[in-house]
Amino acid sequence: MPTRVPSFKGSVGAFSVVGEAAGSSKLLAIFNKTGSGVLVAVRRLTLQTDLAGSSSTGRAVQTTFLTTAPTDGTLLDPQAWDTTQTHNANVEIRGRATADGTNGTLTASVPSGFANSRLGVKNPGGAGQFLAPDYDLLVDFPYPEDPLILREGEGVLVRVVEAGSNSLYYLVNAMIEEFVYEGSLPPVGVEFPYIGGGYYG
């Protein structure tokens, strides 16, 4: 049976993105480029919104999968939990903003479907800051022993569907693990015990 060998465990936070008038704003992408030589487990992917003022608009935030790597955006450097580990440069994490409270460009080809969708914050009656709790953007992968796995040529994208507002800010945080399997892998779809059990493929 194969052994899971992590080469990097760490986390990254994107700069806060201010809402913009155009819809379909891409906030963050994680992509495992061909040639990385590793698999990427996305352990956690969360969104936080900060609304200063009132809004009656509910904005859907979607998580979708990618098969083409974005080429622009701000390249983010994840921080290692163990400083002896080195992040694989072919595992790219790109955010939209270039600094906190700004907007930029993150271009990605969005597929027709999406993994899940969460309704963003709205505050129709009040004024002042409204800080929503973290949104878990990987609600379909709730078990830490069976996370979302990105193989080479695969990625995940976080985007806001509706038009934004200049009083609304988005923060995305991610935790990832880069690893390889040592030993023979079973056929795709065959169960094997790693950590708490799971499936390969």
Instruction: Check residue 200 and give its pLDDT.
Output: 40
Q: Find the mean pLDDT for residues 60-80.
A: 90
Instruction: Check residue 69 and give its pLDDT.
Output: 94
Phi, psi of 197 (to 5 degrees): 100, 160
Q: Give residues with Cβ within 8 angstroms of 124, minimum separation 6.
A: 54, 55, 56
Highest mean pLDDT among 15-29, 117-131, 165-179: 165-179
pLDDT, greater one: 188 or 25: 25
Whether 124 shows a pLDDT value over 90: the answer reads: no
Q: Find the mean pLDDT for residues 2-29.
A: 86
Instruction: Check residue 197 and give its pLDDT.
Output: 41
Instruction: Check residue 199 and give its pLDDT.
Output: 40
CA distance linking residue 191 with residue 201, whole number of Å: 10
What percent of the chain is predicted at pLDDT more than 70? Answer: 67
Q: Count of alpha carbons within 13 Å of 58, Cβ hemisphere only?
A: 4
pLDDT, greater one: 6 or 190: 6
Instruction: Check residue 118 and give its pLDDT.
Output: 63
Instruction: Check residue 176 and give its pLDDT.
Output: 95
Which 8-state DSSP code applies to residue 93?
Answer: E
Instruction: Check residue 196 and give its pLDDT.
Output: 38
Whether 81 shows a pLDDT value over 60: the answer reads: yes
Q: Give residues with Cβ within 8 angstroms of 48, minimum separation 6.
A: 131, 132, 133, 134, 135, 170, 171, 172, 173
Is this prediction's pTM over 0.85?
Answer: no
Q: Find the mean pLDDT for residues 94-109.
A: 89
Whether 94 shows a pLDDT value over 90: the answer reads: yes
Q: Find the mean pLDDT for residues 153-173.
A: 82
Instruction: Check residue 19 and give its pLDDT.
Output: 78
